[in-house]
């Protein structure tokens, strides 16, 4: 074998032993040094010692590689047993190499030189030469340094093979994890453009890899998080090197879902940002489970109402709210009358259906911020918040809701083929802030409920005896008011309106209730009650008809035929779709002149629905009816609306007139109202004028119409007419 031929052969031998490309330059240099010292033909036999060998005289080896004329090519890869002395001991004489070749069944029987080189206790390289070298140095001495380099190279190759194998295994493992992970993986470049996603990403989001590669992850945004949320996220990533949290994203089909997301930046060894890696999982099922757990923990499974646990929490919140606002709250404790009888006779299924229906009806009786809860059995609790700061008014508000509940729950129930009638007993207790404990409030409400049952069921009771008496008195008054009109207990009083020359302009009609037992009842007592109960609508119509009748009666007398009558209109009356028709009918039926009828509206009535108010006022103005804005300045006046309204007069409220002489603020307000009325072309009248100083102040500043005790108190018709004639 020529020198030019042996280089590739030896190279192939070494590559067979260790095939890592990265160490080939080292092996090449080693072989070049070997060939530099061997100008003669040489052969190599590489034997790999089997790992399962036991100590003994025979060693099992595998023939890994052969270079030279040995006729062993067909034996490569086979195992053979050799004497251990031929493998493990230092190089010996020619007889040993002859024995070795004979055992290997080589056709080339003799070589002139022989050298063994153990490699890392696992392999042996045998070098045989066709003839002894001409140098006097022994072959072992001459080639040992070179072969030592070769041995080191082979060890490096094998170690590198092992390291490479580990890297390949790690790569395969990571690839397997990436591909088979249940969590979605999203990798972006440093500019936050998606470069890779795994199959789980597609399964969770619905987007295929080719649909998102090169795009910004914002395509997944749900729209539920604001700019500050994402800004904080990226701040944590850039400054803390990590972000983890719950986030809502959107699937390709538009569905919004919750996920748990981890984001980590990846840098090279120099700190340069390379990638962002996001690992996320769909937590929809977990959220559903949490919601179910929350539902079971805080809600009644039958009615879906809050249970006792959530009731206590809501009551604590109500305590804190009322403590801040100074308002009252109320707890209504309800128990269904004769529920046990229904359960015992019709069965628990029918009883459960009744409870579900009761829960639904209760929810329709309260505001969104109130709470309806089921304590268990047939007991329910209602929490009312944001009631009046005045205890009597708060009690009235709570009683109104309780009455509404009682009326609705008393309606018949259709339970399968049964029609069932049920009534509630309701106990009420007021609270404000933390003046009472939660337990006490519930206990008092429970006590009041049992008082209601004791009183005959289907009743309402307040825990406070004084308050209960007030509620009962109010309820009695409301019942009597319902019959007051038909029993002709209502009457009108007239308060004169004068000009600055003390000539009568007309009068305002004021409602009074002359009770046969109670005497004259103050308007402040019964008019709000009439508004609340709805009785104000028929009462207001009666006032309107009576006033028109009186105007007609005055038309035959020269003293009274030019007097106007101002009639107050309630909010409920004005909102009625039939209001215009009712006014027209009252005028036609009575024969009164429309221009003598003046309707007084408050700001709140008009501003509640400006368009509707303007339409009704214009229609009545076509008939000749005039309008006055009552209590002007006490509400939230809007000049924009004021100039649109077809008004004839503005009435200065008595609260500004009372201290007009001494209070600079009141004086300024009144002067402003007078000036504004003049600009808008409206008449102005002041009510509550009680002394000459007030009248003179108003007259000097342009208000020339007055109403108040200075000119006369409200009096019955006969007395009013007598004063006119006197």
Q: 63 and 78 in contact (C-beta within 8 Å)?
A: yes
Residues 569 and 675 occupy one common structural domain: yes
- Specify if 446 maps to a domain: yes
Residue 160 confidence (pLDDT): 59
Of the three residues 116, 136, 163, the one that is the final residue of a domain is 163
Residues 610 and 696 occupy one common structural domain: yes
- Specify if 292 maps to a domain: no
Residues 468 and 490 occupy one common structural domain: no
CA distance 580 to 588: 12
- Specify if 431 maps to a domain: yes
Of the three residues 106, 133, 163, the one that is the final residue of a domain is 163
Residues 352 and 369 occupy one common structural domain: yes
Q: 409 and 358 in contact (C-beta within 8 Å)?
A: yes
- Specify if 173 maps to a domain: no
Task: Give the sign of the dihedral formed by CA 31, CA 37, CA 41, CA 46.
Answer: negative
Residues 467 and 349 occupy one common structural domain: yes
Residues 348 and 279 occupy one common structural domain: no
Cβ neighbours of residue 339 under 8 Å, at least 6 residues apart?
A: 351, 354, 377, 378, 422
Tokens 């009356």 sit on residue: 573
Helix (H, G, I), strand (E, B) or coil at 185: strand
The number of C-alpha atoms within 13 Å of 55 and in the hemisphere containing its C-beta is: 0
What CATH code is carried by the domain that includes residue 305? 3.30.70.270
Which residues of the chain register pLDDT less than 50? 1-32, 35-36, 39-40, 109-110, 132-143
CA dist 281 → 180, 213, 236, 243, 278 (Å):
14, 20, 20, 15, 10
Residues 252 and 152 occupy one common structural domain: no
Residues 99 and 43 occupy one common structural domain: yes
- Specify if 705 maps to a domain: yes
Tokens 């004086």 sit on residue: 667
- Specify if 293 maps to a domain: no
Q: What angle do CA 340, 342, 348 make, to 5 degrees?
A: 85
Residues 508 and 628 occupy one common structural domain: yes
Range of the domain at 26: 3-163
Residues 467 and 548 occupy one common structural domain: no
Residues 675 and 550 occupy one common structural domain: yes
Residue 296 confidence (pLDDT): 82
At 123-178, the pLDDT tens digits run 566 665 555 444 444 444 444 555 555 555 555 555 655 555 555 665 565 566 56
**Number of domains making up the chain:** 4
- Specify if 419 maps to a domain: yes
Cβ density class 619-653: b for 16+ within 10 Å, e for less? bbeeeebbbbbbbbbeeebeeeebeebebbbbbbb
Helix (H, G, I), strand (E, B) or coil at 409: helix
Residue 13 confidence (pLDDT): 44
Residue 25 confidence (pLDDT): 47
According to DSSP, the β-strands at 504-515 and 519-521 are: antiparallel
Q: Residue 266 has which token pair?
A: 């990846």
- Helix H or strand E encompassing 186: strand 184-189
> If you write DSSP's letter for every residue of 368-389 in order, what string do you get?
TTSEEEEEETTEEEEEEEEE-S
Q: 57 and 83 in contact (C-beta within 8 Å)?
A: yes
CA distance 497 to 685: 9
> If you write DSSP's letter for every residue of 59-110 in order, what string do you get?
EEEEEEEEESS-S-GGGTT-EEEEEHHHHHSPP--HHHHHHHHHHTT-S---
User: Following CA atoms 579, 583, 585, 587 in sequence, which dihedral angle do they give, to the nearest 10 degrees?
Assistant: 180
Residue 403 confidence (pLDDT): 94
Of the three residues 476, 499, 524, the one that is the final residue of a domain is 476
Name the CA radius of gyration of the chain, rounded. Answer: 53
Residue 135 confidence (pLDDT): 44
Residues 526 and 666 occupy one common structural domain: yes
- Specify if 175 maps to a domain: no
């Amino acid at each position: 074998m020529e020198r030019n031929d042996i280089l590739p052969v030896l190279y192939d031998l070494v590559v067979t032993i260790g095939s890592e490309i990265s160490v080939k330059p080292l092996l090449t240099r080693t072989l070049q040094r070997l060939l530099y010292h061997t100008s003669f033909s040489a052969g190599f036999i590489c034997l790999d010692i089997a790992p399962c060998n036991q100590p003994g005289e025979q060693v099992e080896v595998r023939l890994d590689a052969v270079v030279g004329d040995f006729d062993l090519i067909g034996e490569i890869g086979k195992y053979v047993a050799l004497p251990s002395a031929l493998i493990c001991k230092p190089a010996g004489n020619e007889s040993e190499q002859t024995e070795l070749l004979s055992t290997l069944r080589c056709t080339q029987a003799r070589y002139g030189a022989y050298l063994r080189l153990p490699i890392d206790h696992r392999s042996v390289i045998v070098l045989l030469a066709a003839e002894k070298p001409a140098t006097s140095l022994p072959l072992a001495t001459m080639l040992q340094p070179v072969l030592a380099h070769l041995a080191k190279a082979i060890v490096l190759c094998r170690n590198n093979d092992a390291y490479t194998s580990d890297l390949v295994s790690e790569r395969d493992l990571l690839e397997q994890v990436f591909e088979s992970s249940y969590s979605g993986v999203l990798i972006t470049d440093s500019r936050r453009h998606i470069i890779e996603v795994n199959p789980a990403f597609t399964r969770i989001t619905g987007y295929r890899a080719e649909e998102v590669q090169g795009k910004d992850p914002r395509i997944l945004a749900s729209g539920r998080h604001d700019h500050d949320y994402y800004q904080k996220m990226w701040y944590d990533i850039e400054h803390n090197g990590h972000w983890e949290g719950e986030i809502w994203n959107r699937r390709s089909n538009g569905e919004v879902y919750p996920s748990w997301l981890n984001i980590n930046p990846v840098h090279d060894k120099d700190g340069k940002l390379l990638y962002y890696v996001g690992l996320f999982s769909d937590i929809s099922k977990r959220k559903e489970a949490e919601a179910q757990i929350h539902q079971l923990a805080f809600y009644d499974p039958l009615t879906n109402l809050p249970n006792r646990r959530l009731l206590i929490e809501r009551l604590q919140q109500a305590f804190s709210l009322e403590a801040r606002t100074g308002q009252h709250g109320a707890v209504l404790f309800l128990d269904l009358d004769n529920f046990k009888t229904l359960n015992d006779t019709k069965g628990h299924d029918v009883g459960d259906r009744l409870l579900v229906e009761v829960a639904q009806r209760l929810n329709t009786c309260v505001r969104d911020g109130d709470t309806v809860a089921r304590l268990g059995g047939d007991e329910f609790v209602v929490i009312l918040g944001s009631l009046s700061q005045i205890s009597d008014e708060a009690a009235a508000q709570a009683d109104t809701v309780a009455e509404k509940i009682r009326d609705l729950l008393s309606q018949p129930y259709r339970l399968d083929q049964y029609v069932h009638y049920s009534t509630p007993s309701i106990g009420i207790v007021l609270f404000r802030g933390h003046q009472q404990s939660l337990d006490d409030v519930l206990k008092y409400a429970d006590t009041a409920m049992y008082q209601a049952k004791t009183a005959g069921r289907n009743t309402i009771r307040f825990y406070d005896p004084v308050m209960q008496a007030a509620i009962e008195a109010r309820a009695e008054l409301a019942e009597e008011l319902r019959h007051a009109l038909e029993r002709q207990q209502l009457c009108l009083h007239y308060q004169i309106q004068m000009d600055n020359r003390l000539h009568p302009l007309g009068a305002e009609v004021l409602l009074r209730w002359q009770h046969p037992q109670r005497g004259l009842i103050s308007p402040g007592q019964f008019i709000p009650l009439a508004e609340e109960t709805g009785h104000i609508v028929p009462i207001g119509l009666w006032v309107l008809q009576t006033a028109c009748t009186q105007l007609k009666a005055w038309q035959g007398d020269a003293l009274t035929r030019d007097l106007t009558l101002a009639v107050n209109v309630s909010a409920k009356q004005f909102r009625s779709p039939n209001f215009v028709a009712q006014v027209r009918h009252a005028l036609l039926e009575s024969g009164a002149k429309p221009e003598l009828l003046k309707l007084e509206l408050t700001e709140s009535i008009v501003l509640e629905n400006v368009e509707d108010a303007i339409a009704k006022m214009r229609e009545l103005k076509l008939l000749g009816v005039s309008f006055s804005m009552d209590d002007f300045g006490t509400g939230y006046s809007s000049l924009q609306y004021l100039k649109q309204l077809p008004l004839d007069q503005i009435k200065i409220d008595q609260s500004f007139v009372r201290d007009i002489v001494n209070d600079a603020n009141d004086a300024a307000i009144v002067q402003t109202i007078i000036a504004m009325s003049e600009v808008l072309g409206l008449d102005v009248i002041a009510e509550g004028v009680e002394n000459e100083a007030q009248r003179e102040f108003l007259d000097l500043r342009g208000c020339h119409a007055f109403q108040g005790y200075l000119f006369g108190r409200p009096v019955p018709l006969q007395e009013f007419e007598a004063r006119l004639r006197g």
